[in-house]
Structure 1
């Protein structure tokens, strides 16, 4: 029994992880390393898989994160829509939205901008959530609204295999494209 336990520990605890990691590094190295995004100086500025908080009004903002995008502890409170804490947080998010985006009525605010994802780490918003931010960003940056809408369209990812998921925009890559327009 001891031999079997040791053999299984070596196989399952050492060999299998090494083989799978090696295959991943060969087949899809970018994904195996965390889908990291680098700047021109080859410094890591983020990951395609984990959202970030953008506080400057000239940038697109992403979803609310109840864990401040801390990947060490993903998750979110499982509040029911009727929960008082959830209602309070949503009202605060709406107030922040109204202050930053006075040109866009609250009834046009996509729900993903005031709710968080199940993991609290989602880096994506809907194309509609990006579009409603265009007036603010155009005013802040001086970039034509049509250019911004074109940039959103170019950075929109379609459904996987045309079937799975929803069209989405990665906020970090969108803001990187925005910075390129500003240069």
Structure 2
């Protein structure tokens, strides 16, 4: 028995030292090297501080709508709905989102709605959506803001974020940045 207790005690102390002290210190140190010392990507507009790496709620018709959130955009508790496509409650939520989108975008066909406008991301805090998600909303925004659709398409093209190193991930658009640029354009 003594033969096993001492190695187990040493392993426990080593694990505590490694996982509770060294590893957190290394991660914290790396975060301090990141932009804004690891406190997120901050953008100030009209005196208000916004975090561009956390999803924001945009539901007003004069803006590009953001991706739905399963956690009401609460960064303190990220998470998905954890409901699959066979769950009746989840299907009802998605159909409600589709119906709402079609009411506010009457020129759009149901089959043209990108999935990222009707489903939440795994974290519920995705600040980005697809290029198609932006383009499908142009007609509504152009009409409300009395802008030419071509200007909005150009704005979308200017705000496309390329994949990391050109290969990792899809092209995407940050909804907050796009809507701030939209407000600047309309002023």
The TM-score with structure 1 as length reference comes to 0.86
Deviates more, 1:151-160 or 1:12-21: 12-21
Q: CA deviation at 1:150?
A: 0.8
Give the unaligned 5+ runs of structure 2: 1-5
Structure 1 equivalent of residue 65 of structure 2: 61
Q: Does 1:110 align with 2:79?
A: no
CA contact (8 A) 2:79 2:123 kept: yes
Structure 1 equivalent of residue 104 of structure 2: 100
**Which stretches of structure 1, 4 residues or more, deviate above 2 A after TM superposition?**
5-25, 27-31
Q: Does 1:37 align with 2:66?
A: no
Structure 1 equivalent of residue 3 of structure 2: none
Q: CA deviation at 1:28?
A: 2.4
2:174 aligns with one of 155, 164, 170: 170
User: Per the alignment, do residues 7 and 63 of structure 1 end up closer, same or farther by CA in structure 2, a change over 3 Å counting?
Assistant: same
Q: In 2, Cα distance between the equivalents of 1:82 and 1:11?
A: 43
Q: Does 1:136 align with 2:140?
A: yes
User: Per the alignment, do residues 115 and 23 of structure 1 end up closer, same or farther by CA in structure 2, a change over 3 Å counting?
Assistant: closer
Give the number of aligned pairs.
Answer: 180
Q: CA deviation at 1:56?
A: 1.2
User: Per the alignment, do residues 70 and 95 of structure 1 end up closer, same or farther by CA in structure 2, a change over 3 Å counting?
Assistant: same
Q: CA-to-partner distance for each residue in 1:95-137, whole Å, 9 max, x for gaps?
A: 1101110011111111110011111110111000000000000
Q: CA-to-partner distance for each residue in 1:22-41, whole Å, 9 max, x for gaps?
A: 5543x323261211111143
Structure 1 equivalent of residue 34 of structure 2: 28
Deviates more, 1:76-85 or 1:128-137: 76-85
Give the unaligned 5+ runs of structure 1: none
CA contact (8 A) 2:98 2:110 kept: yes
